[in-house]
Amino acid sequence: MRPVARPVARPVANPTPPRLKDVMRVIGGIGRVLVTIGLLTLSFAAYQLWGTGLYEARAQDSLKQDFAKGLKTTSPTSPNPAKPETKPLPIPSGDAIAIISIPSIGVEHAVVQGVRRADLRKAPGHYPNTPLPGELGNSAIAGHRTTYGAPFGRLDELRPGNLIQIRTATGEFRYSVTETIIVRPTELSVLNATPTATLTLTTCHPRFSAARRLVVRASLVLESSAPVSKAPTIIPDVSDATLDGPEGESDLRGTITWGVATLIVGLGWWAAFRKRRVWQVRFGGFIPFAIVCFVWFGYLDRALPGNY
């Protein structure tokens, strides 16, 4: 009689210990949080590089049109010795005052009066406590290096002898680059008055950083420029601590409030998707999340240096 073959017992796989499951769950949660932070960081970078550029491009179109209209309505008048010289009215902050062109690096932008954050979002800004371009003295202009169209993004490529052209209501002026220097953000001496007509351009340095400031100096080319006028008496404004212009536009409360709102909407979107894993929930939750993110990014942007 043949013996009956008994089935071979297979080893039963040990179930995952409860403690290991908890550890894996925590690691998975941390991983999702890090991925979310990374995606938000990339989204903010995209907003800085491209979203702000769209805003600046629209502002430039409007400023160039306003400047052209201003040239048509401005008629030069010869001074009357019999009339006392009137003090010129201050130029409103944010108004277009000139067109700056730097052919060697492909720059042609409207320039506005003022270096507040709101001014530099639209265009390079003229420091109000310096003479206007085409006037005797040191005319200074600041501009963004990375964001808002990066009008001064390639300023480091300028070399002595490169030309900078500026068109104002009083004529066209050409400046020749004399030097490029790197200074601290607090080095306000680069805005000091000069005995001759000069131009100073400032921006952040290096690119994608605000550790230093890149300063380009240029001298007026008298032979190919309109006559230089004497600047009115300027009272230096010593309230600014850095070359970024006046501070005070960053809103910490608004940044925190909209950051919390972004967190709440994001968690609500995640919870809804876990409950119902359908495409309607996935894409439907993206719209409110993107809106609150966009507003939050705007507040975060105000915390950056004025000419970043």
Global pTM value? 0.80
135-167 burial, b for 16+ CB within 10 Å, e for fewer?
Answer: bbbbbbbbbbbbbbbbbbbebbebeeebbbbbb
Whether 274 maps to a domain, the answer reads no
Task: Judge whether 9 lies within some domain.
Answer: no
Cα–Cα distance for residue pair 224/130, rounded to 1 Å: 23
Which of the given ranges, 19-33, 84-98, 177-191, 222-236, has the highest pLDDT on average? 177-191
Phi and psi, residue 175, nearest 5°: -120, 145
Whether residue 84 lies inside any domain: the answer is no
What does the alpha-carbon distance between residue 155 and residue 199 come to, in Å, rounded to a whole number?
A: 14
The type of residue at 79 is P
Q: Which of 31-35, 217-221, 238-242, 303-307 has the lowest mean pLDDT?
A: 238-242
Query: pLDDT tens across 137-170, in order?
Result: 999 999 999 999 999 999 999 999 999 999 999 9
Q: Is residue 120 part of a domain?
A: yes
Highest mean pLDDT among 17-31, 102-116, 222-236: 102-116
Q: Please, are residues 131 and 110 in contact by the beta-carbon 8 Å criterion?
A: no
293/281: higher pLDDT: 293
> What pLDDT was estimated at residue 82?
52
For the record, the structure tokens of 168 come out as 């104002």
- How big is the chain by its Cα radius of gyration, in Å? 29
CA–CA separation, 144 and 203 (whole Å): 6
Q: What is the CATH number of the domain that holds 148?
A: 2.40.260.10
The HSE-up count of residue 172 (CA atoms within 13 Å, CB side) is 7
Tell whether 13 is covered by a domain.
no
Q: List pLDDT tens digits, range 39-56.
A: 888 888 788 878 888 889
**Looking at residue 227, what DSSP letter applies?**
P
Domain assignment of residue 208, yes or no = yes
Write down the residue that tokens 């404004």 correspond to.
Answer: 237
Residue 115 falls inside a structural domain: yes
Return the SS3 of 100: strand
Spatial separation of the C-alpha atoms in residues 153 and 56, rounded to whole Å: 14
Q: Would 255 be classed as within a structural domain?
A: no
Q: How many domains does the chain contain in total? A: 1
248-292 pLDDT per residue, tens: 456 678 788 888 888 888 888 878 877 877 767 677 778 888 888
Percent of the chain past pLDDT 70, that is, above it, reads 82
pLDDT exceeds cutoff 70 at 174? yes
Averaged pLDDT of the chain? 83
Structural domain that includes position 185: 92-246
Average pLDDT over every residue of 97-107: 96
Nearest C-alpha neighbor of 117 from the set 278, 212, 247: 247
Whether residue 121 is predicted with pLDDT greater than 50 in this model: the reply is yes
* Residue 221 burial class via C-beta count within 10 angstroms: exposed 0-12, middle 13-18, buried 19 and up: middle
For range 63-88, the mean pLDDT:
67
pLDDT tier at 78, thresholds 50, 70, 90: very low
Q: Region 13-38: what's the mean pLDDT? A: 73
Tens digits of residue pLDDT in 59-69: 999 999 999 98
Estimate the crossing angle of helix 18-46 against helix 279-301, to 10 degrees. Answer: 60
Q: Mind listing the pLDDT tens digit for each residue in 184-194? A: 999 999 999 99
d(CA 217, CA 236): 20
